[in-house]
Structure 1
């Protein structure tokens, strides 16, 4: 359960949510309790994020479980009668209406919203989303970023208990994503309602720094502080979900209080370095791999296969010990020839050790975890 309780706060409870489709399990016993403020939902594609949001919104009935908003079971209540707004990855606006009318449309449909307050609310939300000067335009006259701002403004216009945002920035260019990300973080920090923000981007989740739910294959993998999960991932799945570029994974085995990996041996981290013969997975992030020798670092003989230059960084693809691929993220522009010999250098302090079976964190320099586990 994820709890963010406060006096008079809004609550959204997803209690044992299950979704099945043609014999496949899409969501498996999801139980979460969210309160006022922002929560980030992160997971790779096909993790179940959109399905979970559709269930919360009332767009898809669950095979089992309940959706409860402020103590009321709304599972069987239609989406139109729920105090919920939904922003999709693909921005949806009414093409024949101006930006003003797009934003005003949910207010005109809400019988409880005072008619004389519509104009003020539309302009208020438009200014918040920095599209106040675009109110007379139609969606076809807007850029992609302006259209997404319009879609978000329409969702924000009508006061609701729950706001669901399903990867709303995924289709925008890098600069627009950064700008909108900062705006949304500021906007939702002290939201009186529940804001559930879905993303597949680790940088986005870390930037929002909100309580975070990691979803994997239709199950909740972990719930907690996103920075803590990044620095000390409880499972390999959490570590992989919060790593971009992807983690480097290497096979290892525990022997005589040491870990052996591709011909290299080093003391197992943690106070209890036992578990003789236990197969493990070593994980290290690309920016923690060097191709220069460093004092105290583990050195793996390697061959350069490819160098990808992005401008601010160079990603060097290595073949380690003639059998495993590994990526090093180096600063700036650096040129290498394919086939060139190299050394993959890794500080033991940067290595996470996970159980090969189950993927549980066993050891790292940041935590002493019993390898007997």
Structure 2
């Protein structure tokens, strides 16, 4: 399916839910809508599905406008945060229902394959009321995948699952999406989920589309601070700096010897991802000494909060590490992993942006 949004916007009363945006998701691939709660992701997906009409702009499928075409006349499948299943049907019949409507063959075999991949094969003869919330959500996912619709919309489908299962299903879903031919739109608040799913990412914030392009490119070269904030978890470390003859001078800290575009001048904002900071020196690193204010272990990572000479910093270290509060520590990072924005954060100055859409 070739889906195109042209100048789409949405107003409800005096409130603007979606500002004018144009977007053409890559056909047959995954496009992630990434943004915080109330960024506009669900509103945009409802317009794509035909559940809501835009206040202005056009939605085209294969070059033809579908604004006003009801959702029942569109070949679309959608999974919400809150699972929706047929309560009077077993899990087996729930998954099989779209295939039966489509007159498919080998239904039983396909149901078993999907159930196994989503870890619900042992529940096929149960009813939704006999399952946990996470299990019911997996049934809804299986049914959406079984439909094989050319457009599949998933609105934070894993948010109600436990951490371990989310990690497993992300890998499974990536494989299932790759096997199919559907255009997949996947909404999430988690930058890590966008990176794992790959494909393309559209970063949204407060109803605006900020940047769209290949996921790795958007992550590596966010065009503004708003994009960098939305695509960083934990939040990107931001420091004040200024342009000097030899490069970039951090306020109260070291000089970063790096070239900037000739148009840049005056004050700057320097961004450092928490995952780029280390406690072990490597050749060419910049050192940022300070003292430990807090060290917390989360999953397989340790987050170290440091009061440094350039300001408060958070480092994300792989593995379990122990630090005494108040201990002196130096954080290190490579200049290649530093982001330079203008003072207002409206433009990325370094690294130079690529050609993301």
Residue 306 of structure 1 pairs with residue 294 of structure 2: yes
Q: Distance in 2 between matches of 1:292 and 1:192?
A: 45
TM-score normalised to structure 1 length: 0.84
Residue matched to 2:110 = 124
Residue 32 of structure 1 pairs with residue 19 of structure 2: no
Residue matched to 1:6 = none
Measured at CA, do residues 127 and 191 of structure 1 come closer, stay the same or move farther in structure 2, by a change above 3 Å? closer
Residue matched to 1:18 = 9
Measured at CA, do residues 121 and 356 of structure 1 come closer, stay the same or move farther in structure 2, by a change above 3 Å? farther
Q: Is the 8 A contact 1:37 1:191 kept in 2?
A: no
Q: Is the 8 A contact 2:226 2:345 kept in 1?
A: no
Residue 63 of structure 1 deviates from its aligned partner by: 0.9
Q: Structure 1: give runs of 5+ residues left out of the alignment.
A: 1-9
- Worse overlay, 245-254 or 286-295: 286-295
Deviations 1:80-132 (A, max 9, x none): 22211110112222333211232344456x5xx33xx47x4365144223244
Q: Distance in 1 between matches of 2:65 and 2:318?
A: 52
Choose from 56, 60, 66 the match for 2:58. Answer: 66
Q: Is the 8 A contact 2:83 2:137 kept in 1?
A: yes
Matches within 5 A, 1:1-373: 10-34=1-25, 35-106=27-98, 110=101, 113-114=102-103, 117=104, 120-121=106-107, 123-130=109-116, 131-270=120-259, 272=261, 275-276=264-265, 278-291=266-279, 296-310=284-298, 312-321=300-309, 324-364=311-351, 367=352
Q: Is the 8 A contact 1:270 1:368 kept in 2?
A: no
Q: Distance in 1 between matches of 2:50 and 2:162?
A: 31
Q: Distance in 1 between matches of 2:158 and 2:136?
A: 11
